[in-house]
Structure 1
Amino acid sequence: MRQSKSLSRKSHLLGTKIRNLRKRNNLTMEDLSARCMRVDVELAPSVSYLSMIERGKRVPSKDMLEVIAAVFQKEIAWFLDDIPEEKSITPVKGSRGGISGMALEPSFLFTNEILQIAIPEMLSQTGVSGRQFAHLLIRAHQEHHQNHFPDLERAAEEVGQKRLPLSVEELLQIVKNLGLNITWFSKLSAKTHDAIGVNKNSIVTSYFDPPGNIYLNKLLEKRTKRLKYDLAVHIGHAVLHNTDGLKSVLAVANPPKNNNNIFDATPEAFKLSGDSSTVKAQDILHAWRDFESSFFAGALLCPKVPFRQLLDRQGYEIDIHEHVGVSASVAMRRMTAVSSYRHWHYFDAYAPGKLKAVYRGNGIPLPWGNMRQVEDPCQHWAVFRMINTPAIGSSAQISLLNVEDEPRIYCCESTNVQDLAGNPHVLCTGIDLNPAISAQGIDALQIAEDLKKACVKNGGSSTIPKAIKQELSSVSRILNINWVERGIASDARLICSRGAVCPREPSCYSANH
């Protein structure tokens, strides 16, 4: 009782500070209560009790406050002083993801009419296909909204009832309930390839034939994770687009005979046979609906709340996909959509320079494009190191990269996988640590600058200094992402968006290298 009264006399700002810390770290009350339970299940506050604490209706015991403090890596005294620290604990509102845009001035040159005339001409001259342009538009839209599409999430939850995991049998029952039929095939004829518009060098895993037929490749019978994804995509097509007959074809590139690397011979193998630089409205529509169906599939297989809770329990380990029976790519992409932390990026990369998928809600500059190869890609990106030196399992890395003349600290986890055609590729998911560091009232730019100097001094990589390691380790525990801690244990590396701006001394691209 005496302890409770002692806390009461010092708790004027306690509830406000807990609420601001929670919001600054993008946690719901359910998230914070769950985090507290991981620290101590008996002392953790319930959601309702936490609500009363934040509103000043209740004062937690010293033991309960210690649990809350452990989640946010704070001393108890911080919660009990009389300093509001409003500037350092008030979240910034209205921030968006993706890369920075440019002002479209003079505005009369950027009217819809002028753009509709100029864009097809630009694409024709640069060799960019209408489909590639559509995917770039969609990616910009996705990054701007930081993978937040509540209507698609709701549609998937209505169909899947938030079940996690979903079995193949349950997915087949959903297909049946939608009135769709399934036909299995072994090999498609050249005529069918032409009809569905896919390059003959590709392996078609499945396609939709209106008004209600799903065709599945028998190869999927032994690849249940890919089978579940294909079924989920076609369910999404049926639910979102009313099986209106637009093509819904899923395929992977097939390596040419006598060639182990598909990109040595035919970098165009992933393109649809109808690709051209002519922009067609239907290309944009097809690409958008493909994106919607794919996002729906991820939300169906990994529903937001259950998957987020599982990620939280498992510390965002990327082998989480084994727990729910989905591919690593589905699980890693869903991390970027369901996490309470918004500053994620994700790459799906094939050697030597093909980006099959990319998401960068944190605006990280790309090391190479998904429309063309780059002459001088930085070889120190984790995704390149994994491609060039294949490793078993996964690998975490702390990286320093200049963005708009300011150093930023990134951490990522990469892993090697193979697609259905046997092509090796690397999946990489990562976060921008600067916002997480700043959210704790720490000067993120100064820490990044100090770490960058250490890396430059040591030829491009460096053991993380003890003081910085302590700060990053604390942030790692607040984020509850295990591979950040593993990245901190290894050397930090300087990376760049292009070799021409290499920050290393001497430069990797100097005359002597």
Structure 2
Amino acid sequence: MRTTKSLMRKSHFLGTKIRNLRKRNHLTMEDLSARCVRVDPETAPSVSYLSMIERGKRVPSAGMLAVIAAVFQKEVDWFLDDVPEEQAIMPDKGRRGGINGMALEPSFLFSKDILQIAIPEMLSQTGITGRQFAHLLIRAHQEHHQNHFPDLERAAEEIGLKRLPLALEDIMDIAKGMGLKIKWIDRAPKDVIDEMGATSTQLVTSFFEPPSTIYINKHLKSNPTRLKYDLAVHIGHCVLHNKDGLKSVLTTGKSQVSTEMDNGTPQSSTVNAQDILHAWRDFESSFFAGALLCPKVPFRQMLDRHGYEINVHEKVGVSASVAMRRMTVVSPYPHWHYFDAYAPGKLKAVYRGNGIPLPWGNMRLVQDPCQHWAVFRKINEDSSGSSAQLSILDVDNEPRIYSCESIRVKDMAGNNHVLCAGIDLNPAIQAQGGDASGIAAELKQACVKHGGEAEIPKAIKKDLTSVAKILNINWVERGIETQARLICARGAVCPRQPTCYEAGKPQCE
């Protein structure tokens, strides 16, 4: 058994190694201390003691070091080998977002003046509405910043005081304290034609009328989760925009925005200031609502305690959608994606902080979507509960391993849709010194050999399980226990042999 004296003789690089491991896994000292407490509360280091260990001011006991090693899935001897790491791997502080841009040459063609002339014409010719284009711009901004909007977080925390959970009565008290009045209306669901020409059911849930009245559909009385969210959105609008009237009607259903525009005019294929401002304020208010209902630090701690299970939303009193979207914000691991998908191929909400390509379009129908994406399979399954999937996808000609959890739910208008949260595992593998590209290529080869799906080889399963435990995301471990699946962005580039698409028709539905 190791003694403290023997540890001291071999601890030259111990603090540095712990610090590098913590930072490459995007953990704060508070995160690491909390993880250690769950392994062994008796010997876990406090935040202050952990700080001294990292700075070389203290040497942990053998038991304490064993706990830290368990969190990072390392052998204790790795910390004591008296050999510094070849490279102090730190989080990439270069490009924040997951979506790659492209160099636009000649650059003078992409000047502000030229784009202001060309974009409205492009939208007119493609049939994309100004509001849709505004949402695309905002999504690109959101992904570029990897959901990092500290000003909106702080504004919500000042109002909600970081309380978790917030009961409906708490939200009502906040609204009342701001001088807001609530009036109830009676609106029934109705059929609408969305921007893709498909008919679906939509329900107007609420809207704000200046200077201080929130009109709420009586249907929300039986759905306190949605009622809390609508109130939080309107509170956010009032906090951020001083109770002015420029705010869209809130609805539930397949369409991204209400067909009942504030000024009564239909959406057009030209861009105007109102489109951009409406869309941006919708985003800000929605982000504020999530931050109010699931404040960053308390919600992150709760997710960590429960292994990022989707059903944590029940403990917080929010919808699965709100909880899953907030996962992408509060997690210390930045490489997330999130989809909210309606049949037959409509993405109502998209976030791709990990650079994953879209499985289909959210502005137009795609003729050859890959049917092996988890959201597609879940839409077409008549099942309840969530399901995990491990997928291999070529991105920029390099195989990447994605893990996701999907759940099929029903909105208040009665439409079925699928929520999916997932992560890119390649950066997590690399953070532990693994060969992510090599593992992904080997896994892809195994899947190709077996017609597109394969059991994960034992050695790879061991590596991925270790990564899953460090990430502390339970559904990654569940996905590893299932067969890995090959997926693609479009059926025309299907990596399966034989391909799923022959003569332009899917063969694998």
- TM superposition score normalised by structure 1: 0.93
Residue equivalent to 1:275:
267
5+ unaligned residues in a row in structure 2: which ranges?
191-198
Asked if structure 1 preserves the Cα contact closer than 8 Å seen for 2:201 and 2:413, the reply is no
Between the aligned partners of 1:89 and 1:366, the Cα distance in structure 2 is: 30
- For residue 201 of structure 1, report the CA deviation from its aligned partner: 6.2
The one-letter code sitting in structure 2 at the alignment partner of 1:336 is T
Asked if structure 2 preserves the Cα contact closer than 8 Å seen for 1:409 and 1:432, the reply is yes
Q: What SS is found at the alignment partner of 1:416?
A: strand
Asked if structure 2 preserves the Cα contact closer than 8 Å seen for 1:36 and 1:44, the reply is yes
- For residue 200 of structure 1, report the CA deviation from its aligned partner: 11
Residue equivalent to 1:173:
173
Cα deviations across residues 194-247 of structure 1 (Å, max 9, x unaligned)?
A: xxxxx9963210000011100000000010100000000000000001011112
Residue equivalent to 2:218:
218
Asked if structure 2 preserves the Cα contact closer than 8 Å seen for 1:88 and 1:439, the reply is no
Residue equivalent to 1:490:
482
Question: Following superposition of structure 1 onto structure 2, how do residues 206-355 of structure 1 map, counting pairs within 5 Å?
Answer: 206-253=206-253, 271=259, 274-355=266-347
Cα 1:269–1:57 shift into 2, 3 Å:
closer
Asked if structure 2 preserves the Cα contact closer than 8 Å seen for 1:123 and 1:278, the reply is yes
Asked if structure 2 preserves the Cα contact closer than 8 Å seen for 1:460 and 1:505, the reply is yes
The one-letter code sitting in structure 1 at the alignment partner of 2:160 is G
- The size of the alignment, in residue pairs, is 493
The one-letter code sitting in structure 2 at the alignment partner of 1:159 is I
1:358 counterpart = 2:353: no
Cα deviations across residues 142-197 of structure 1 (Å, max 9, x unaligned)?
A: 0000000000000000000000000110100000111111000113899xxxxxxx
- For residue 373 of structure 1, report the CA deviation from its aligned partner: 1.1
Q: What SS is found at the alignment partner of 2:87?
A: helix
5+ unaligned residues in a row in structure 1: which ranges?
191-198, 254-261
The one-letter code sitting in structure 2 at the alignment partner of 1:488 is I
Between the aligned partners of 2:67 and 2:188, the Cα distance in structure 1 is: 60
- For residue 416 of structure 1, report the CA deviation from its aligned partner: 0.6
Cα 1:269–1:233 shift into 2, 3 Å:
closer
Between the aligned partners of 1:156 and 1:476, the Cα distance in structure 2 is: 31
The one-letter code sitting in structure 1 at the alignment partner of 2:32 is L
Residue equivalent to 1:436:
428
Q: What SS is found at the alignment partner of 1:89?
A: coil
Between the aligned partners of 2:148 and 2:90, the Cα distance in structure 1 is: 22
Residue equivalent to 2:365:
373
Between the aligned partners of 2:346 and 2:200, the Cα distance in structure 1 is: 19
Asked if structure 1 preserves the Cα contact closer than 8 Å seen for 2:98 and 2:335, the reply is no
Cα deviations across residues 466-500 of structure 1 (Å, max 9, x unaligned)?
A: 00000000000000000000000000000000000
Question: Following superposition of structure 1 onto structure 2, how do residues 163-202 of structure 1 map, counting pairs within 5 Å?
Answer: 163-187=163-187, 202=202
Cα deviations across residues 415-469 of structure 1 (Å, max 9, x unaligned)?
A: 0101111100000000000000000000000000000000000000000000000
Q: 2:500 aligns with which of 500, 504, 508?
A: 508
Cα 1:289–1:453 shift into 2, 3 Å:
same
Between the aligned partners of 1:189 and 1:151, the Cα distance in structure 2 is: 36
Between the aligned partners of 1:104 and 1:443, the Cα distance in structure 2 is: 33
Residue equivalent to 2:439:
447
Between the aligned partners of 2:414 and 2:133, the Cα distance in structure 1 is: 28
Cα deviations across residues 7-40 of structure 1 (Å, max 9, x unaligned)?
A: 0110000000000100000000000000000100
Residue equivalent to 1:106:
106
Asked if structure 2 preserves the Cα contact closer than 8 Å seen for 1:98 and 1:140, the reply is no
Cα 1:200–1:415 shift into 2, 3 Å:
closer
Question: Following superposition of structure 1 onto structure 2, how do residues 95-174 of structure 1 map, counting pairs within 5 Å?
Answer: 95-174=95-174
The one-letter code sitting in structure 2 at the alignment partner of 1:57 is K
Between the aligned partners of 1:229 and 1:11, the Cα distance in structure 2 is: 51
Sequence identity percentage: 74
Residue equivalent to 1:389:
381
Structural RMSD (CA): 1.9
- TM superposition score normalised by structure 2: 0.94
Cα 1:16–1:269 shift into 2, 3 Å:
closer
Asked if structure 2 preserves the Cα contact closer than 8 Å seen for 1:353 and 1:368, the reply is yes
Between the aligned partners of 1:233 and 1:181, the Cα distance in structure 2 is: 15
- For residue 86 of structure 1, report the CA deviation from its aligned partner: 3.9
